[in-house]
Amino acid sequence: MAQDSVGLSSGYQFWMRKLSVWGQASTLETQQDICHHLPQFQEFLRQIYETLKEMDSRTIIERFPTIGQLLAKTCWNPFILAYDESQKILTWCLGCLITKEPQSSGESKLNSWTRGLLSHILAAFRFDIKEVDLFTQSLGYAPADYYPGLLKNMVLSLVSELRESHLNGFNTQRRMAPERVRSLSRVCIPLITLPDFGPLVEALLTYHGHEPQETLWPEFFDAVNEAFLLKKILLPKSAVVCLWLRHLPSLEKATLHLFEKLIFSERTSLTRTEFLMRQSLLPEAACHPAIFRIVDEMFRYALLETDGAPEVLAALQVFTCCFVEALGKEDNQLKFALRTYFPYAPPSLVMALVQHPEDIPQGLRHQPLRRISEMLREAAEDQAPGSSGGPFESWFLFARFGGWADMAAEQSLMSAAEPPEALLWLLAFSYSPRDGSQPRAQTMVGGGTQCGWHPGWAFPELEGSYQRGPRNGFGFH
């Protein structure tokens, strides 16, 4: 590699010879020589990275045909790799060699080879490597204690640098360069599920630079989301929220993944539905309005596509129940107004619906039902069907809170005389929201003169699906 053509440090050939002499640092003399030259060698590696990061992987291989040999010799020298700074710079350099979309078998093989070196850097020190016994013993550590610490120390070092960069904001002198953050996210893709790698994944997800465009690789988000959905990694809620806010396809995939588990399962009870819903973290994440609107819109689309399938309706109501519960636990400083989540509904109607129906004493239930019926009727019938507050929006709002329809049917059954008009309208609207005021009035007359009022009348296909329990909010256990 000619000095003038590669633009790297003038000492390239010098360090290639040094690496050949050092081998795997199996003697005391080579270890002493490495310690003596290590600061200069690390500076040389930084110069390499600064050069490589400006090129794509194909250009790198064309211009620097022996760069792989140099990096491989460095990776397999345990005395060099024992230092966090060496590990970190090597990951940057190796990340530059990975081709995002390989066009040939050669490029695919280079990607595989590079990822193997990355895996070695982060995981191989878990094994007993005889060449570093002398070094670890001189420090008073057994290999079993020392090797896992290498990975943890490197991860902690990177996490600290990311957090410091985040706190420094626009202080560019102390902030990690965006290209380094992006390169790190690419390097992380094949290593996300390593047991000790979680803190770095979390730090990347919660790191926010000040660039106008997303810094992290889309493939990084895809890989993290896939691992999270398949329970291969554990992430705190804050990291999951950042993932879904920063990468919309991951949020959509997470919602569809939940739909598949809930709707296409052979046997799904409401208890299991609630368990899966909470486990997905979607209700908690939906406390952020942007996430709520996406998930809510996907439920809306699923209801329309399935013509109100009972499985979808049940999942929507469980989601709403869990969401309202999570919203109540949010820090007051972080809470958003309810109109942020339900912008097309009258705030007073939303406030009435989010109450726990079962918390209302038996003798006082007619009053809130009548009030809800009046507000819902005004919202549904006093506006045009295509308006933002038309019949479907009103029905979709009411459908989220299934416990009120159950209570209206129950109160109608318990009425000694003909059920009040407000309850009849509420049930008629639940059953057939597309009807105009005249057809609905006829339904109310026909239904009111019959003795067969029951909870399943509002949604006949759901009869028997819901059971009440104490303080369950919307008729779910």
Can you tell me the distance from the alpha carbon of 467 to that of 168, in angstroms, rounded to the nearest whole number?
A: 54
Sequence-separated contacts (24+) of 161-166 with Cβ below 8 Å: 162/200, 162/203, 162/204, 162/207, 163/203, 163/207, 165/207, 165/209, 166/206, 166/207, 166/208
Spans in the chain with pLDDT lower than 50? 1-7, 124-132, 134-136, 138-139, 141, 146, 169-173, 386, 438-440, 444-445, 447-477
So what's the pLDDT on residue 61?
83
Q: Tens digit of pLDDT for each residue in 13-35? A: 889 899 999 987 778 888 888 88
Domain boundaries, the chain: 3-140, 248-337, 347-462
**Tokens 């990275």, residue?**
49
DSSP string, 424-464: HHHHHHHH-TTS-HHHHHHHHHHHHT-S---GGGTSGGGTT
So what's the pLDDT on residue 165?
67
So what's the pLDDT on residue 166?
59
So what's the pLDDT on residue 233?
93
Cα separations in angstroms, 270 against 273, 313, 316:
5, 12, 12
Question: Would you tell me how many other CB atoms lie within 10 Å of the CB of residue 336?
Answer: 13
Q: Tens digit of pLDDT for each residue in 215-257? A: 898 999 999 999 999 999 999 999 999 999 999 999 999 999 9
SS3 470: coil
So what's the pLDDT on residue 132?
45
Amino acid identity, position 371:
R
0.85 exceeded by the pTM? no
So what's the pLDDT on residue 131?
42
Half-sphere exposure of 67 (CA within 13 A, CB side): 28
Dihedral of CA atoms 125, 126, 132, 135 in degrees, nearest 10, equals: 100
